[in-house]
Amino acid sequence: MITVSSLLDDSWYERYKSISKLNIRSSIYDVTNRCNLRCKGCFFFSSDEHKAAKDEKNITKWEQFIDKEIERGVNMAILIGGEPALELDRVEAFYKRVLTMCATNGLIKVPRDRFPDMMVGLSLWGDEEDEKTLRGKDTFAISSKNYEGDPNCYYLYTMTPKQIGHTEKIIKKVRDVGLKIHIQLLSNDEDVNGFHWKEEELEDVRNELDTMLDAYSDCYISAKYYHKVLTSGKMLGRSFGWNECPSVTLPLDTRDPQPKRLTNFIRWAADLETMHRCCTSETRDCSTCKDGAATMSWIMVNKRAHIRTTEDLQNWIEVYEMFAKLYRFIPW
């Protein structure tokens, strides 16, 4: 029988052991429907998720809700929106109770005296020109000043087809402000002209990201296997999409048979009652989905399928380590 220990030497086995003790149970929360930007291609607004439910304004109700979530087994809260930094009391209600990661555009600084070690993920959509085209503003100019050198912060760079050949410039500018970077791909939910991926571009992206990881492993948090699966949409001969997606809200998951999925995962709207279909756009065609987090989770929940060859299992370990680094379960 093929076992984990039969596939790994001592040092890989140690790496495996240190991640396999992590027992992460995450869910995602829309902290608010409001945002101080309106990016073209934002999955939240393009799918009208901001209209699905009203913001709950009573902070006591948020606190009671979070306590129930913890009772449900959630041990990591991922805060999105809208812009969570517009509602810091709600963010604090999470932060005081559970391990919290806050995704923000970085225009408003989360005060570190109030949230000393909260993980912050800063969205970035390309160079100055792309950011102005897609977001109406060069957010990096502001967010990098707000978070320069912050040890609990990284940029989540959503790469567009126009950025092929330019990722090095972006990685360097993030490194120069003393921060880390992780990269995913734009899904272009609003059909912005010129921002759709072509097959040959995806191959180029994969090669470019692999080269960047070799050159900038000090600040670029990633894994080559993640690049491969993200750009091809394939893993071990299987195709990513609705039938395989791990990040579907549990009570809305009617799939039969059930694929491997995130345990008890729910994405909650800001009224604390409504649920969204999945971790990203309610209306996205799953066959076009390039969501980085869902891809990462897809690999992670399919551990057993990777206990096949040494290379497969090492690939799985590297992706799990990438996730664990992004959330600071292991040092970067």
Where on the chain is the footprint of ligand SF4 (CB under 6 A)? 35, 37-39, 42, 44-45, 81-83, 105, 123, 135, 241-242, 245, 247-248, 278-281, 284, 286, 289, 291, 294
Distances, alpha carbon 21 to alpha carbons 24, 76, 235, 295, 311, in Å: 9, 15, 24, 21, 21
Question: Residue 63: which H helix or E strand, with range?
Answer: helix 59-71
**Angle CA 45–50–55, to nearest 5:** 150
Nearer to ligand SF4, 270 or 289 (CB): 289
Nearer to ligand SF4, 213 or 246 (CB): 246
Nearest distance in Å: CB 83, ligand SF4: 5
Nearest distance in Å: CB 129, ligand SF4: 17
Nearer to ligand SF4, 50 or 180 (CB): 50
Nearest distance in Å: CB 159, ligand SF4: 14
Nearer to ligand SF4, 7 or 174 (CB): 174
Q: Rounded to the nearest 10 degrees, how much is the dihedral formed by the CA atoms of 98, 101, 106, 108?
A: -10
Nearer to ligand SF4, 24 or 212 (CB): 24
Nearest distance in Å: CB 314, ligand SF4: 26
Nearest distance in Å: CB 178, ligand SF4: 23
Strands in the chain per DSSP E: 26-30, 76-80, 99-104, 119-124, 153-159, 180-185, 234-235, 238-239, 267-268, 275-276
Q: Which amino acid is at 212?
A: M
Q: Is 117 exposed, middle or buried (0-12, 13-18, 19+ CB in 10 A)?
A: exposed
Nearer to ligand SF4, 118 or 122 (CB): 122
- CA 61/CA 70 separation, integer angstroms: 14
Question: Residue 139: which H helix or E strand, with range?
Answer: helix 139-147
Nearest distance in Å: CB 35, ligand SF4: 3
Give the contacts of 87 (CB within 8 A, at least 6 positions apart): 31, 32, 34, 55
Nearest distance in Å: CB 60, ligand SF4: 26
Nearest distance in Å: CB 316, ligand SF4: 20
- CA 19/CA 267 separation, integer angstroms: 25
Closest CA to 28 of 82, 80, 93, 103: 80
**Three-class secondary structure of residue 118 per DSSP:** coil
Nearer to ligand SF4, 16 or 45 (CB): 45
Nearer to ligand SF4, 136 or 151 (CB): 136
Nearest distance in Å: CB 203, ligand SF4: 21
Look-up of token digits 């999945």? 278
Both tokens of residue 29?
A: 């929360």
